[in-house]
A and B are shown apart, each in its own frame.
Chain A
Amino acid sequence: MSVLDIRDLKVEFPGRKSTFVAVQGVHLEVEAGKILGVVGESGAGKSTVGNAVIGLLQEPGRIAQGEIRLHDDRIDTLPEKQKRHIRGRKIGMIFQDPLTSLDPLQTVESQLVETIRTHLPLSSSQARARAIELIDAVGIPNPSERISQYPHQFSGGMRQRVVIALALCAEPELVIADEPTTALDVSIQAQILELMKRLCADRNVAMMVITHDMGVIADITDHVAVMYHGKLVEYGETHQVLGAPQHRYTQSLISAVPRPDVRVERFPVVDYIEKAGKPAKQIDIATHWLGQTRDYTKTDGPLVEIEDLTMRFEVKGSLIPSRRKHFDAVKAVSFDIKEGETFGVVGESGSGKSTIARIITGLYHPTAGTIRFAGTDLTSLTNRRQILAMRRQMQMIFQDPYSSLNARMRVRDIIAEPIKFHRLASSNSEVRQIVEDLLDHVGLGAAAGKKFPHEFSGGQRQRISIARALATRPRFLLCDEPTSALDVSIQAQILNLLKDLQDELGLTMMFISHDLAVIRQMCNRIAVMKNGELCEVADCDTLFESPQHDYTRHLLKLMPSMELLSRANIETA
């Protein structure tokens, strides 16, 4: 018999003018000791299902139809007071971001003890003993000492373990995990998934994992439900759904997932979801302003040469030099980037990969080492005009498409700014024409220029960022996790766009990512970084097939296996 049984669920959010239906006609079941995955892209309503089950729908959301049963007892119609006794006691919940889901001002112990004592009739010393037991069970070393610490004294992965311990406090029968590993690094993600699988089996808990990550689904779930626009499009055993998807949406979604084992020329476009951005008007790169970038002096050697680059940050200042504390974000790193290639930099958070990009673009001044760009030593330049000329040749695309665009400027002004600043066009009407062509070229259409950034989705904003980067006719593009904030289908489009632009304009790219699968699809050569040090640099295929460094092997091993996934629709390169 199933622990959780959702029948014909409909959740709606009544608005002033119309009612928004977030979830409709969803049937789901979870059995004890099994993991159900709910997968879908943002806005698919998957989190809403989780919130409806635990009874924490955001105002003014309500369950309009259907029923939710826990062990055959209806829980959706219970009064609020009884729902509270189910939350935590019968249903535990795990949230996405471990950095924000713990109260920063309370010790781990007090948060655990208060939860235990809310639900179980234990004395405070018994509750404390149980808390220590739980902390131990989720794999935190030194439980009796660490329990009296505050959340900020734990790393991200450890905090997620604390969150899991909190969810398991009162032996719930069902655990809902909403994107439990999205905010974590690959190696931590692997550990947390392992832990969840183990706890689920050991304690015979039913688990519902909500995620957008096909890798997580393939890795730990027994059953999977695919959601699209609030509706269930496919539901079945995981290997069945992933291996032989029936619905067209599932098929295109799976084909858009970048996989580490096959290299594709272009990603299959999920036209089911959003109209693929095709340039409305073809511009002839050879004659267009955008194509006139070949005025750079050709270099014989590599375009970018980095030698012994070191970046040291002062963490704690002091008058006495010996008491100062430093943190070496980048330690004596050297590599070259050849003209026209895509150079990948991969590593976990804190490995120094973004710091390198910031040093190259001049946002940080390195502590030691040299950077040569097309033969010129950037670190020794002092003349402002020379520095600007260099900066014009390199542009950056940032991770977060929400905070990297000025919310108070119109899109056309955002894109025109670099053109005007570097005086790349002779007249205002030419600037306007270039901006329109750029918007067309990245697939947004010239009309987008009149709007403000908030009127666009994440993927569209990333297109704006790309158009802005192209506006200086750069030679070298630094992409810092350009797609990690995006859904897979949108990610596929953006990656395709970057590949197209590179082919057309002969751009050199440095592509930073923590996602090995994406790196494999995009890059010619790859550098692996760990704790500020360079582990190895190798050709893409060499790195994936015969990694030299232990850490590279470790990273490759951690990648969620995509073998389950169907290979239909994929053309290998």
Chain B
Amino acid sequence: MLGFAMRRLVQAMIVMLVVALLAFTLFRFVGDPVNQMVGVETSLEQREALRESLGLNDPVPVQFWRFISNAAQFDFGTSYQFRQPVSDLFAKRIPATLELSFVSALFALIVGIPMGVYAGLNRESAVSKLFLSVSLVGISLPTFLIGILLIFVFSVNLQWLPSFGRGETVQIGGWWTTGFLTVSGLKALILPSITLGLYQMTLIMRLIRAEMLEVIRTDYIKFARARGLPDRLVHFRHALKNTLIPVITITGLQLGAIIAFATITETVFQWPGMGLMFLQAVQNVDIPIMSAYLLLTAFLFVSINFIVDILYFLIDPRLRVERA
């Protein structure tokens, strides 16, 4: 197990290095960074001096090394638009995105798993068919449309929930702001997290349903029934647990996707998270933010994958023994 974890860590580091190389290339070679930083009236000498002071005349490997070691200390340079360190900007935005992603992932799991289990066990019932039709809507409607529809119904017509922003937030510690502690903050979370989590929910539901249908046909389920075990044990202890491996894989990847690609939802709801900032950065060719975002996204995916691999070990005893 330890050896496996070490191997995965080394692989994760290689992935991160490759992504860092991409981010570095983006920063260094997509447009001249000096041109982006200075105004039109800056003289050639001043430009040259800036170039020298930024280290842009050093050999490329040296620059890359500097880029990596700075990134390892959370120094991603200065944003072109805001003239502030990129890491400060991210620190301000991260809590909003993480809270939104967390709530929508929770929503997807809490609603998706029971629906999937039910639809897998009662495949012919009318309710299962209704679930499947609803899930088709969740998969086929684009996120922005769902967001706008929800705003139209719940904010404009019924006026129950706010249509944008995070509501009131509370400062915790040095840099974390949370919307969990105020009523308006919680209310503000509802619509965006449903919008963001709907696709994942339908995906999880359909996956669990398919896996359940598969597992329910296996001999050990038949044997469990033949031993007279109550349905509750057969369905949840034996069947559901055996469906979890593929579900964890997909859920892990989807969680990464929720955090990294909340852009559209954040835009629709004017949610002050990283996605919104990223979109603005793209519009303004703010390359330091873009490359930091790239690194952060890769880091999220790599660490989620790592956790998923470890979870496999906890769930499936067959993986725990060394293959002998």
Residues of A within 8 A of B (CB): 54, 56, 84-89, 92-93, 95-97, 100-107, 114-115, 118-119, 150, 152-153, 163, 166-167, 169-170, 315-316, 325
Contacts and interface: CB of A to CB of B under 8 A. Distances in A.
A359 B106 CA distance: 53
B1 to A, nearest CB: 14
Contact of B228 (A86, A152, A163): A86
The 9 closest A-B pairs by CB, nearest first: A88-B228, A87-B228, A93-B226, A88-B227, A100-B219, A150-B317, A101-B223, A101-B219, A103-B220
A104 B316 contact: yes
Contacts of A85: 228
A95 B318 CA distance: 22
Contacts of B237: 106, 114
A435 B318 CA distance: 47
A316 B321 CA distance: 12
B123 to A, nearest CB: 10
Contacts of A56: 222, 225-226
Interface in B177-224: 218-220, 222-224
Given A104-B242, A104-B317, A316 B227 contact: no
Contacts of A118: 227-230, 233
B323 interface: yes
Given A114-B237, A315-B324, A119 B223 contact: no
B220 A152 contact: no
A100 B242 contact: no
B228 A119 contact: yes
B228 A103 contact: no
Contacts of A86: 228
Nearest to B319: A152
A106 B242 CA distance: 10
Contact of B324 (A87, A93, A325): A325
A462 B218 CA distance: 27
A87 B225 contact: yes
Given A114-B237, A325-B324, A150 B227 contact: no
B322 interface: yes
B226 A103 contact: no
Given A114-B237, A315-B323, A325-B324, A103 B224 contact: yes
B227 A100 contact: no
A529 B219 CA distance: 32
B129 interface: no
Interface in B265-324: 315-318, 321-324
B241 interface: yes
Contacts of A95: 219, 222-223, 226
A105 B227 contact: no
Nearest to B228: A88
Nearest to B315: A105
B222 to A, nearest CB: 7
A325 B241 CA distance: 32
B212 to A, nearest CB: 14
A315 to B, nearest CB: 6
B228 A84 contact: yes
A316 B228 contact: no
B321 A153 contact: yes
Contact of A105 (B219, B223, B242): B242
A235 to B, nearest CB: 25
Contacts of A87: 225-228
Nearest to A153: B321
Residue of B237, B241, B317 contacting most chain A CB atoms (<10 Å): B317
Contacts of A102: 220, 223
Given A84-B228, A118-B228, A316-B324, 10 more contacts: A56-B222, A96-B219, A103-B224, A104-B316, A106-B237, A115-B229, A118-B229, A150-B317, A152-B321, A166-B223
Contacts of B315: 105
Contact of B318 (A89, A104, A170): A104
Nearest to B242: A105
B318 A93 contact: no
B194 to A, nearest CB: 33
Interface of B: 218-220, 222-230, 233, 237-238, 241-242, 315-318, 321-324
A115 B321 CA distance: 26
A119 B226 CA distance: 13
A106 B322 CA distance: 18
Contacts of A169: 227
A150 B315 CA distance: 12
Nearest to B225: A56
A105 B323 contact: no
Nearest to B323: A316
Contacts of B226: 54, 56, 87-88, 92-93, 95
Nearest to A110: B237
6 contacts: A56-B225, A87-B225, A93-B223, A100-B218, A102-B223, A106-B238
A103 B238 contact: yes
Residue of B218, B222, B228, B323 contacting most chain A CB atoms (<10 Å): B228
A96 to B, nearest CB: 8
Contacts of A150: 317-318
B229 to A, nearest CB: 6
Nearest to B226: A93
B70 to A, nearest CB: 33
Residue of B219, B225, B227, B323 contacting most chain A CB atoms (<10 Å): B227
B188 to A, nearest CB: 40
A105 B215 CA distance: 13
Nearest to B239: A103
Contacts of B225: 56, 87
Nearest to A327: B324
Contacts of A100: 218-220
Contacts of A325: 324
Nearest to A318: B3
A362 to B, nearest CB: 27
A102 B223 CA distance: 8
Given A89-B228, A103-B238, A103-B242, A163 B223 contact: yes
A152 B229 contact: no
Nearest to A80: B231
Residue of A105, A107, A150 contacting most chain B CB atoms (<10 Å): A105
A8 to B, nearest CB: 24
Contacts of B317: 104-105, 107, 150, 152
Contacts of B220: 100-104
Nearest to B220: A103
A107 B228 CA distance: 18
A115 B224 CA distance: 8
Contacts of A163: 223
A105 B316 contact: yes
A88 B229 contact: yes
A275 B290 CA distance: 74
Contact of B322 (A107, A152, A153, A316): A316
A152 to B, nearest CB: 5
Contacts of A316: 322-324
Contacts of B222: 56, 95, 101
A106 B224 CA distance: 12
A92 B224 CA distance: 11
Given A97-B219, A152-B317, A315-B324, A105 B228 contact: no
Nearest to B218: A100
Contacts of B227: 87-88, 92-93, 115, 118, 166-167, 169
A233 to B, nearest CB: 28
A102 to B, nearest CB: 6
Given A104-B317, A150-B317, A152-B317, A84 B219 contact: no
A116 B317 CA distance: 23
A102 B222 CA distance: 10
